[in-house]
């Protein structure tokens, strides 16, 4: 089981219920494929550094999870298929990044 982190940006025109539905969809996909969620964060509406699809802002979300490596390809395919997702990035965390993420969560007092 590898440790991963995904940040994704959702379209700013979505309603609160559509955002919750989208986040739940990706979380359920991971859990269905044997992932263990370490942390979830909703960073809210943020201004983008440059326009994406003619939008100047987006809703940011972060997932930190452990899952077998072969699941990641199909997980990212789900992001590509969903028109509500403007951008996403999944990175594999090494032991130093995992330790840093734990310290960051403790500092921000984020529950896993």
What confidence score (pLDDT) does residue 108 get?
Answer: 83
Torsion of CA 14, 15, 19, 22, to 10 degrees: -70
What confidence score (pLDDT) does residue 40 get?
Answer: 94
All domains in the chain, ordered by first residue: 2-108 (3.30.70.60)
Rg of the chain over all Cα atoms, to the nearest angstrom: 14
How far, in Å, CA of 37 to CA of 17, rounded?
A: 22
What confidence score (pLDDT) does residue 112 get?
Answer: 55
What confidence score (pLDDT) does residue 87 get?
Answer: 97
What confidence score (pLDDT) does residue 105 get?
Answer: 87
In tens digits, what is the pLDDT along the chain, a chain of 112 residues? 899 999 999 999 999 999 999 999 999 999 999 999 999 999 999 999 999 999 999 999 999 999 999 999 999 999 999 999 999 999 999 999 999 999 988 888 776 5
> Is the pTM here over 0.85, yes or no?
yes
């Amino acid at each position: 089981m590898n440790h991963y982190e995904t940040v994704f940006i959702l379209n700013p025109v979505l309603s609160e219920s559509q955002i919750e539905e989208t986040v739940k969809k990706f979380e359920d996909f991971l859990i269905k494929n044997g992932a263990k969620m370490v942390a979830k964060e909703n960073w809210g509406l943020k201004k983008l550094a440059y326009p994406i699809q003619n939008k100047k802002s987006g809703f940011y979300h972060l997932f930190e999870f452990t899952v077998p490596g072969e699941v990641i390809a199909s997980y990212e395919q789900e992001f590509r298929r969903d028109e509500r997702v403007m951008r996403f990035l999944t990175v594999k965390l090494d032991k130093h990044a995992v330790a840093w993420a734990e310290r960051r969560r403790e500092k921000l007092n984020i529950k896993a």
